[in-house]
């Protein structure tokens, strides 16, 4: 009797084990079947992309290579595409290029939560609301769009690159908590307040050229900044930059800057644009041993001798400023002295420039 019960119990255990093994075996088969169905659905989307003149690129994971490829990148830039609804099928989409397209409605992308890089420059987009849940986006280029409100992207904490130049944005405050930002382009905007960037201490590149910005004090803690452009602004005081020792590129051309003393400790500087400013004294540059290029055209600089100590200098731009209103008052003798001191340095004399040409050379 006891042996019979033992055999029955043993049989039940073996049966349960067999059922479990069968169930476990069907899981990967079901997953493979699901993956194949997705791939077939995406084939129709790929056909639509190619018909529009675009390119679809599959992922490079082992699943994509050996089981069923799914679309990871879509390039539709400069194509006449205005309806994105077919893309709703692309759940693994990582990169989407829609530059210079008539696209205005991003709603179909609300479920593309794996999106990492999104190129929208010069498209017809104005509303970013559908991107609110795309938390994985690392790169977003909105330059030249009709975007006004940045609040929908305020929670995109993974953003490292953001370009909103030439848009309708006037308020940068939604960006204040995007601590992973490294590259931020705010050029050609109505923005006048940089306080939202004060805590973005990972910033390496910041461009606020041709904005209403006048006060740079919010930048004083951005110790990782290596490139800063405030060309064509009302900036007159560079002292907030005095502690930014990683700064390698500075463009403050066409601003109200006159004193370069705050840059004395910026010894890693390599590229410096001072054209069309009120600068007259280059003495603070003597410690910039890594400086390679400096533009001082259209300034009040009359003495080039401080540059003789900058032995790595490769180019100095002198001469006419914007619309030839101001010409660097440097004598030919002064120029020759610098040429003798720095035999490998090219001294460029700019003459007879109109506004467009002057801007292009800065």
Find all residues with CB under 8 Å of 288, minimum gap 6, and list them: 263, 266, 267, 269, 272, 310
DSSP state of 250: E
| pTM recorded for the entire structure | 0.87
CA 198 to chain centre: 17
Radius of gyration over every alpha carbon of the chain, rounded to an integer in angstroms: 29
CA–CA separation, 129 vs 143, rounded Å? 17
- % of the chain beyond a pLDDT of 90: 76
| Residue 58, phi-psi category: left (phi > 0), alpha (psi -120 to 50), beta (remainder) | beta
Contact indicator for 161, 142 with CB cutoff of 8 Å: no
CA–CA separation, 145 vs 123, rounded Å? 6
Structure token digits, residue 105: 């409605």
Structure token digits, residue 94: 């990582």
Whether residue 75 is predicted with pLDDT greater than 70 in this model: the reply is yes
Bridge partners for 55 per DSSP: 75
Whether residue 5 is predicted with pLDDT greater than 60 in this model: the reply is no
pLDDT band at 42 (very low <50, low <70, confident <90, very high): confident
Task: Quick: pLDDT tens for 200-240.
Answer: 999 999 999 999 999 999 999 999 999 999 999 999 999 99
Q: What domains are there in the chain, each with its CATH number?
A: 1-169 (3.80.10.10), 270-362 (3.80.10.10)
Whether residue 139 is predicted with pLDDT greater than 70 in this model: the reply is yes
Task: Quick: pLDDT tens for 305-352.
Answer: 999 999 999 999 998 877 656 788 899 999 999 999 999 999 999 875
CA 36 to chain centre: 36
CA–CA separation, 122 vs 104, rounded Å? 11
- Please give the average per-residue pLDDT across 137-148, as a whole number: 98
Q: Which of 33-47, 134-148, 219-233 has the lowest mean pLDDT?
A: 33-47
**Residue 107: per-residue pLDDT:** 96
**Residue 253: per-residue pLDDT:** 97
Give the burial string for 46-62 (b: 16+ CB within 10 Å, else e): bebbeeeebebebbeee
Give the burial string for 162-201 (b: 16+ CB within 10 Å, else e): bbbbbbebebbebbeebeebbbbbbbbbebbbbebbeebe
Find all residues with CB under 8 Å of 32, minimum gap 6, and list them: 67, 68
Structure token digits, residue 235: 């900036």
């Amino acid at each position: 009797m006891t042996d019979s019960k033992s055999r029955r119990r043993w049989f039940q255990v073996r049966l349960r084990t067999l059922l479990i093994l069968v169930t476990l075996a069907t899981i990967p088969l079901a997953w493979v079947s699901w993956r194949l169905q997705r791939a077939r659905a995406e084939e129709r989307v790929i056909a639509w992309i190619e018909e529009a003149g675009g390119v679809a690129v599959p992922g490079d994971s082992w699943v994509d290579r050996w089981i069923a490829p799914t679309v990871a990148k879509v390039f539709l830039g400069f194509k006449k595409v205005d309806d994105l609804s077919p893309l709703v099928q692309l759940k693994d989409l990582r990169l989407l290029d829609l530059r210079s397209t008539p696209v205005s409605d991003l709603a179909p992308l609300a479920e593309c939560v794996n999106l990492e890089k999104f190129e929208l420059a010069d498209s017809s987009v104005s509303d970013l609301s559908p991107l609110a849940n795309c938390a994985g986006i690392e790169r977003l280029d909105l330059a030249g769009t009709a975007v006004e409100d940045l609040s929908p992207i305020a929670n995109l904490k993974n953003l490292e690159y953001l370009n909103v130049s030439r848009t309708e944005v006037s308020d940068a405050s939604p960006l204040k908590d995007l601590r992973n930002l490294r590259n931020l382009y705010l050029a050609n905007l109505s923005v006048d307040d940089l306080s939202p960037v004060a805590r973005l201490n990972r910033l390496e590149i910041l461009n606020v050229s041709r904005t209403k910005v006048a006060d740079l004090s919010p930048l004083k803690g951005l110790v990782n900044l290596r490139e800063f452009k405030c060309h064509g602004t009302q900036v007159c005081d560079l002292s907030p930059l005095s502690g930014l020792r990683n700064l390698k590129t500075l463009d403050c051309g066409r601003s109200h800057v006159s004193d370069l003393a705050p840059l004395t400790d910026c010894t890693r500087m390599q590229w410096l644009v001072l054209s069309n400013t009120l600068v007259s004294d280059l003495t603070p540059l003597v410690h910039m041993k890594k400086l390679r290029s400096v533009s001082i055209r259209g300034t009040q600089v009359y003495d080039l001798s401080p540059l003789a100590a900058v032995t790595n200098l490769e180019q100095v731009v002198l001469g006419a400023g914007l619309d030839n209103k101001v010409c660097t008052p440097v004598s030919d003798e002064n120029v020759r002295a610098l040429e003798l001191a720095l035999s490998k340095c090219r001294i460029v004399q700019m003459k007879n420039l109109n506004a467009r040409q002057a801007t292009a050379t800065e």
